[in-house]
Amino acid sequence: MFEPVLLRNVDVPDGHLLSTYEAGGGYKALAKVLREHTPDEVVELVKQSNLRGRGGAGFPTGMKWGFVPKRADKPKYLCCNADEGEPGTFKDRIIMERDPHQLIEGLAVSAYAIGAETAYVYVRGEYVAAIRRLEQAIAEAHEKGYLGENILGSDFKFAVHIHCGAGAYICGEETAMLESLEGKRAQPRLKPPFPAVAGLYASPTVINNVETLACVPHIVMRGAHWFRAIGPDKSPGPKLYCISGQVRKPGLYELPMGIPLRELVENHAGGPLPGRRIKAVIPGGVSAPLIPESGLEVGMDFDSLAAVGSMLGSAGVIVIDDSTCMVKVATRIVEFFHHESCGKCTPCREGLNWAVKVLRRIEAGEGAPGDLEQMERLCKGIFGNTFCALGDGAAMGLRAALEHFRYEFVAHIEERRCPFH
């Protein structure tokens, strides 16, 4: 049976307190790197572990750290992306609320590795309880000498600051988040230059997700080989899966990367509701193209999902059963992206506006011949033609719905009604 790593403290009484975290070996990883390892050795250790970013893109974390210039005439920054605005995703909130010191230790070790003395945690503004717990944990860590000057008697100094978002989904995009941190309107930047070279205040900056950073202390203490032994070699490690939708046991599950999607939904989350069958599953938040029931044998890792035309994303698993209209699902998803588009890129701004209009017509029984072909052209015009991946997420989700459930869209147009109501 798989033993939890990242969630080991979430159900422990007072798991958010420093005393509880220390009792379970907390901050030993920080002490170890300060005592035994150079920053370059920590970077190499994370490279050897093959830890891939848990925020959605799956980029190798050690490689990202390695892009930071060794010598820079500006300060280096570490930013934690805790904006977590992806529908169906709540893993980072649980870590921050119930085990915030795990994140703080991950920040400290990571900052030591890249040569940063300052970190910003960009937290979704609605996460009031998480913000309060982080503030308390930062104060505790300062008092015990895990943050501040001369940490644990070393020359390393490090400070963590919390920045509250204001509800915009686009701030989850790393460069839009940097714009927001600088007090500007949150819109994506054109890359290159990449943040590792010119990020916050045009300084070298590493941006990592909460779950990614939480993995780092465990890699330090248990080793890269331990981490790589969990799950597929190309996408190893423990993984947090957020399961919601029409399923018996929704919740947050920690299991090895690569677990089959069917096993995750049916064995761990209890399967569909009584009397229902699974129709489709969105495997990685609404940015990830849905997978029909026939494809649920796929492994929940970056490469396996990419091979079937979807993606792991944030691992926000949304289960859809056979009582649900897929036209309605597609409409709600595209409406979300249309509402959250920052408007900077014409294909995203105008394309999603038209897609919403057409989808609402079809959903209302007012669709016309040629509407589906028009939406396919819109998807083609949006995908790959914007500064960030927000428009891509909408286009991929809509294309997947049209590919796997086209007959439902056709029924709405030809019968001028929803066959599910």
pLDDT of residue 2: 87
Where is pLDDT greater, at 90 or 420? 90
Task: Give 64-78 pLDDT, tens digit per residue.
Answer: 999 999 888 899 999
Asked if residue 13 belongs to a domain, the reply is: no
The tally of domains found in the chain comes to 3
Q: Are 256 and 239 in contact (CB under 8 A)?
A: yes
The reply to whether 52 and 120 lie within a common domain is yes
CATH code for position 192: 3.40.50.11540
Asked if residue 34 belongs to a domain, the reply is: yes
Asked if residue 299 belongs to a domain, the reply is: yes
Q: Is the model's pLDDT at 280 over the cut of 80?
A: yes
Q: Is the model's pLDDT at 1 over the cut of 80?
A: no
Using CA atoms, how far residue 336 sits from 99, 311, 341, 355, in Å, is 31, 19, 9, 12
Asked if residue 7 belongs to a domain, the reply is: no
Q: How confident is the model at residue 270 (pLDDT cuts 50, 70, 90)?
A: very high
Q: Are 47 and 63 in contact (CB under 8 A)?
A: yes
Using CA atoms, how far residue 291 sits from 243, 309, 321, 359, 373, in Å, is 15, 9, 12, 20, 21
pLDDT of residue 167: 85
CATH code for position 375: 1.20.1440.230
Task: Give 344-378 pLDDT, tens digit per residue.
Answer: 999 999 999 999 999 999 999 999 999 999 999 99
421 DSSP assignment: -
CATH code for position 271: 3.10.20.600
The reply to whether 79 and 191 lie within a common domain is yes
Q: Is the model's pLDDT at 10 over the cut of 80?
A: yes
What value does the mean pLDDT take over residues 330-334? 97
Query: CA-to-CA distance for 165 and 380, rounded, in angstroms?
Result: 32
The reply to whether 137 and 279 lie within a common domain is no
Final residue before a domain boundary, out of 287, 321, 355: 321
The reply to whether 201 and 331 lie within a common domain is no
Asked if residue 48 belongs to a domain, the reply is: yes
The reply to whether 63 and 191 lie within a common domain is yes
Q: Is the model's pLDDT at 130 over the cut of 90?
A: yes
The reply to whether 361 and 303 lie within a common domain is no
What residues form DSSP beta bridges with 205? 77
Asked if residue 409 belongs to a domain, the reply is: yes
Task: Give 183-220 pLDDT, tens digit per residue.
Answer: 999 999 999 999 999 999 999 999 999 999 999 999 99
The reply to whether 56 and 122 lie within a common domain is yes
Q: The domain containing residue 210 runs over which residues?
A: 18-228
CA 408 to chain CA centroid, nearest Å: 31
Task: Give 138-150 pLDDT, tens digit per residue.
Answer: 999 999 999 999 9
Query: CA-to-CA distance for 316 and 251, rounded, in angstroms?
Result: 10
The reply to whether 56 and 109 lie within a common domain is yes
Asked if residue 333 belongs to a domain, the reply is: yes
Asked if residue 351 belongs to a domain, the reply is: yes
Task: Give 409-418 pLDDT, tens digit per residue.
Answer: 999 999 988 8
Query: CA-to-CA distance for 379 and 222, rounded, in angstroms?
Result: 45
- With a pLDDT cut of 90, the percent of the chain lying above it is 95
Task: Give 144-172 pLDDT, tens digit per residue.
Answer: 999 999 999 999 999 999 999 998 999 99
Q: Is the model's pLDDT at 266 over the cut of 90?
A: yes
The reply to whether 70 and 210 lie within a common domain is yes
The reply to whether 42 and 58 lie within a common domain is yes
Q: How confident is the model at residue 57 (pLDDT cuts 50, 70, 90)?
A: confident
The reply to whether 378 and 257 lie within a common domain is no
Rg (CA), the chain: 22
pLDDT of residue 420: 80
Where is pLDDT greater, at 25 or 418? 25
Final residue before a domain boundary, out of 196, 228, 260: 228
pLDDT of residue 220: 98
Q: Are 41 and 112 in contact (CB under 8 A)?
A: no
- Mean predicted lDDT score pLDDT of the chain: 96
Q: Residue 296 is encoded by which pair of tokens?
A: 């649920």
Q: Which residue has the tokens 């979704």?
A: 124
Task: Give 286-312 pLDDT, tens digit per residue.
Answer: 999 999 999 999 999 999 999 999 999
Final residue before a domain boundary, out of 296, 321, 346: 321
Rounded to two decimals, what is the model's pTM? Answer: 0.95
The reply to whether 207 and 245 lie within a common domain is no
